[in-house]
Chain A
Amino acid sequence: MDEALVVRNLKTQFFIYEGIVKALDGVSFTLKKGEIFGIVGETGCGKSVTAYSITRLIPDPPGRIVEGHILMGNLDLLRNLSKEVIIVTKKRTRIRHNNRVIKRNEYFFNKIRGKYISMIFQEPMAALNPVYTIEDQVSETLLLHNRTRMLKIIKSASEHLEELKEWQNSGSFPSFSGELGEEIEKIKEASKSKDSVKKHQELLIEAASKFSKRKEKFERMLSKSIENDKLEDRLLKTSDEAEQEAIIKKLSKETKKINLIKITRKMKRRSKDPIIIEARRECLSLLESVEIPNPSIVMKSFPHELSGGMLQRVVISIALANSPKILIADEPTTALDVTIQAQILQLLRNLQKNIGTSIILITHDLAVIAEMCDRVAVMYAGNIVETATTSELFKNPKHPYTIGLLRSLPRIDDPSRELKTIPGSVPNLITPPDGCRFHPRCPFVFDKCKVEKPETIEVSEGHTVACHLFHGKEVN
């Protein structure tokens, strides 16, 4: 099994006063493990709505996922979708929200988001909370999702407390086995200076000594979080729906108690808690891994004190804090300058190599796609019109829209080329054109295009097109 995420027939609509905006009209794609999958398209074609639908961040009302499946392993993330609303037809048809199901889904998704699927947003300034420090915000996801690992590290550190203290001022570490050993290897790799290693040691020793003072309590905490982790593992592996349901019920009881803001408040008050000290250390090494200079100073600052590129690094570090299986990057570099964009793209590529996360990269910039992605999907007006490997798409584009898009691109390496344009503009999605949604702008349009929506067809291996011009095997 090499699929990280399978999206099938995803339909998201927005119910507004003017009518129903059919933002996604049956989007299907597969994200393979360890690849960077790009989604390109113009403004309003549904790129971001796809991303928000996967993480279930569509504001409801007005938006709602109407139909579709998102499979992560054996688990369908949208399995309760039809139960979320009750359609009442007495005098006129009305939609009633089933709050119980919605709430439970919400609790369940709190477990998924940030741990298995995480997201980088376009505006780093808007993605971070202006009233909390960087440290608080990075630690938050760690405290929510990564308790087991942190507790294990402190536990084994508390067992080796004497040894650690001996090495404290040397700026290097003795070698250990197990979780602590791995962590120390990581620190050695990421830290550039002796001072930062010392800072790590200091925090680790502080946490470990706190841990040994109230050992029983934290041991209990550890065993409980290990139990939860086992449940989550089971949830992703099992294909039995009844079992999945039972586990989700159990887990959502746990998550109910966690209030995100409360955690950060508590954190401030009880900064003596070893987990919080460990989260601080972890935060330090995360900021180091995204190449932020002076991480110990940045940790204590507020978002407005940092530049755009720096903030985007912080956002990336939050997204990658729990080594998620899937990372959705929604226009991660659009708000940044070219030189900073180059830095961020290089960073993303390196991190992807190290962690092995699968990335969905959403952008309107074909050049970024060409540099970063393994495979690309081109979207137009809520449909994926073409999917192929990057080199195939650029060399051998099939869909008329893709061809037009590539021709309208000014090229830095070929200035003499005349810019060809696609006539017209993106259609209104409240009343989209019948048949193929591209047909009013398509140079090859014929009668069938105006009536029938084209099926997705495989023209060569791994290259699919939704267009009546091509014949081949249909894929679902």
Chain B
Amino acid sequence: MKEVLIQGIGLRKYFPIKGGISGRTMGYVYAVDDVNIKIYKGETVGLVGESGCGKTTLGKVLLDLIDPTAGMLFYKPDESLTSQVSELYMKMTTNKPSELRKEERKLTNEAKRRDVFRNRVRNKDFRRRVQIVFQDPVSSLDPRMLVKDIIAEPIKINGVPTESGKRTKLRGSNLQNYVLQMIGEMGLNRDHLFRFPHEFSGGQRQRIAIARAISIKPEFIVLDEPTSALDVSVQAQILNLLKELQRKYGITYLFITHNLAVIRAVSDRVIVMYLGKIVEEARTDELFTSPIHPYTQALLASIPVPDPDRKRNRLVLSGDVPSPSNPPSGCRFHTRCRFAQEICSQKEPVLEEIREGHMVACHFSKDIAASESEINAIKKVESAVIDNLQDVKSDESTRG
């Protein structure tokens, strides 16, 4: 059994919309709405979804970079505690922050003590173990700091974990050597240390941002679209670098991106989000070969494949993503779904496990899964027949 590193339960982040002369709260943008997420040690979790679906917000909530409206976050939790807490959160159906706060008072003191959001000591310890790499390296590096200072800053504040488990703050030549070693791993050299961020190309800047994140040897890194601002050839360099670092230090990644091809290349498990909710969660191979939620299916079908001979019948989704401030009732995807029926607009589907490690939030997940396996079986037979035919033909041609 793999060890759970981070578990978020009932995570919600509602951004208030202020309006009017007095700045009254007019409503909320439901950026992340009742998300339960488990991240195991040493794995790479991909988080995909369209823009505005709450991917980045979820990533930031998981690092406690923004205060959540409700929810709990545990670092290396006990199973008994988390099951108890999730039961309580399952019962919360309201989406008003004040009522949520009332409900959360029912939580046990034990749970509150273990929660990263509420326990200050735990929080400080937790933040030293996690890091983030942002999308745009131009704005995430301080333009007035030298590269050496950028990389040394987190070490000066947090120290580096030693073998005994304690953190030591490095100084002087020790620090310098350590920074040199870090930057060497990123494929940069001594000359680069005494330059400013603007003197580097996009790929190099992203390397510096990664070096800064890695420098305190974190256990968990949120990669928030680390390669979307880069060209493909540079993107490949960065992805390989990240893989290499994971192998070396055993870091756990949460890889947020909208690029499904990248997700497939790097992640072990994929979570698909739509309008603030998780709609499907599965191992990468399984998700890409047999997606079940209609949204995932459409998402996969809409990615162009760099192979001109492969002309597929595309499943083009009609319409736009609805506004997260006024999400559709029931299943949030029902306005664009091809299987939508009456129940979809009334009842909200729950995230259910249909196979081992494959969770889907859809009323018809079982039906789709069944029909999908049928279709797959038919396809297999078809392809076998075609292969046979081709064999026969090639035989004939060689004979002829």
Contacts and interface: CB of A to CB of B under 8 A. Distances in A.
Interface of A: 42-43, 293, 307, 309-310, 337-343, 345-346, 364-371, 390-391, 394, 404-413, 415, 419-422, 425-426
A408 B307 CA distance: 14
Contact of B232 (A337, A366, A390, A413): A366
Interface size class, chain B:
35 or more
A410 B302 contact: no
Given A390-B308, A394-B308, A346 B264 contact: no
Contacts of A404: 233
Contact of A413 (B237, B301, B310): B310
B304 A419 contact: no
Nearest to B316: A342
Contacts of B391: none
A419 B236 contact: yes
Contacts of A367: 261, 303-306
A339 B301 CA distance: 9
A343 B265 contact: no
Interface in B278-327: 284-285, 288, 298-310, 314, 316-321
B261 to A, nearest CB: 4
A412 B303 contact: yes
Given A419-B240, A425-B234, A339 B317 contact: yes
A425 B203 contact: yes
A249 B189 CA distance: 61
Contacts of B231: 42-43, 364, 426
Given A391-B308, A409-B232, A412-B264, A337 B288 contact: no
Interface of B: 50-51, 201-204, 231-237, 239-240, 258-262, 264-265, 284-285, 288, 298-310, 314, 316-321
Contacts of B51: 337
B237 A421 contact: yes
A364 B231 CA distance: 8
Given A419-B265, A420-B236, 17 more contacts: A42-B234, A307-B320, A338-B258, A338-B299, A339-B50, A339-B299, A342-B301, A370-B308, A408-B236, A410-B259, A410-B262, A412-B305, A413-B305, A415-B265, A422-B233, A425-B204, A426-B231
Contacts of B308: 370-371, 390-391, 394
Contact of B302 (A342, A369, A406): A342
Given A412-B288, A415-B264, A422-B233, A406 B299 contact: no
Nearest to A340: B320
A326 to B, nearest CB: 23
Nearest to B315: A342
B304 A345 contact: yes
Contacts of A346: 314, 316
Contact of A405 (B232, B259, B262, B307): B232
Given A368-B304, A390-B308, A410-B265, A419 B314 contact: no
Nearest to B307: A370
Given A309-B320, A338-B50, A391-B308, A415 B233 contact: no
B284 A415 contact: yes
A394 B373 CA distance: 32
Contacts of B237: 408, 421
A184 to B, nearest CB: 27
Contact of A421 (B236, B299, B314): B236
Task: Give the 6 A-B residue pairs with the shortest CB-CB distance, closest first.
Answer: A342-B302, A408-B236, A367-B304, A410-B265, A42-B231, A337-B50
Contact of B239 (A342, A343, A410, A426): A410
A343 B236 contact: no
Contacts of B314: 342, 346
B268 to A, nearest CB: 11
A390 B309 CA distance: 9
A209 to B, nearest CB: 38
A390 to B, nearest CB: 4
A146 B310 CA distance: 40
Given A408-B236, A410-B264, A338 B201 contact: no
